[in-house]
């Protein structure tokens, strides 16, 4: 059974704090790793699509790294703002199964003003 795990399950930080969370996935048959942000009452929105070991991507205050050999990805948020409050999902895509995507359970982030 393939498992994608995310930690922590939830996180409460003060505005201005930097934070990071982890996505763990199988280290074999890797094809891609996606990060999504899911705000309450909205649809999940893609943050990053990562495909190569060692990938580092950045969008504003948010960045992500990828280690496919050991099966993990980190998402970093620098200087958290209340609008960053959301659930952050990672999704692992296998190389052997066309379009098979396994989502992690998500990390719920609350940024306290």
The residue ranges of DSSP E strands in 1-113, in sequence order, are 5-7, 10-14, 19-24, 30-38, 45-50, 56-59, 62-67, 72-77, 86-94, 101-103, 107-112
Q: Which is nearer to other proteins, 13 or 32 (CB)?
A: 32
Q: Which is nearer to other proteins, 52 or 112 (CB)?
A: 52
Q: Shortest Cβ distance from residue 31 to other proteins (Å)?
A: 6
Q: Shortest Cβ distance from residue 69 to other proteins (Å)?
A: 19
Q: Shortest Cβ distance from residue 84 to other proteins (Å)?
A: 19
User: By the criterion CB under 8 A, which residues form the site for other proteins?
Assistant: 4, 31-32, 34, 36, 42-46, 49, 51, 89, 91, 93, 98-106
Q: Which is nearer to other proteins, 17 or 55 (CB)?
A: 55
Report how far apart, in Å, the C-alpha atoms of 65 and of each of 14, 17, 28, 54, 61 are: 23, 19, 18, 7, 14
DSSP bridge pairs for 86: 109
Q: Shortest Cβ distance from residue 113 to other proteins (Å)?
A: 27
Q: Which is nearer to other proteins, 71 or 104 (CB)?
A: 104
What span, in angstroms and rounded, lies between the C-alpha atoms of 17 and 46?
23
């Amino acid at each position: 059974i393939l498992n994608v795990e995310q930690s922590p399950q939830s996180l409460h930080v003060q505005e201005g704090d930097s934070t990071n969370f982890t996505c763990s996935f199988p280290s074999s048959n890797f094809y891609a790793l996606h990060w999504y942000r899911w705000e309450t009452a909205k649809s999940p929105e893609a943050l990053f699509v990562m495909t190569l070991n060692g990938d580092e991507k950045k969008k504003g205050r948010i960045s992500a790294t990828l280690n496919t050999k050991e099966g993990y990805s980190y998402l970093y948020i620098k200087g958290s703002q209340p609008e960053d409050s959301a659930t952050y999902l990672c999704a692992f895509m296998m190389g052997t199964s066309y379009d098979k995507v396994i989502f992690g359970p998500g990390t719920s982030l609350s940024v306290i003003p």
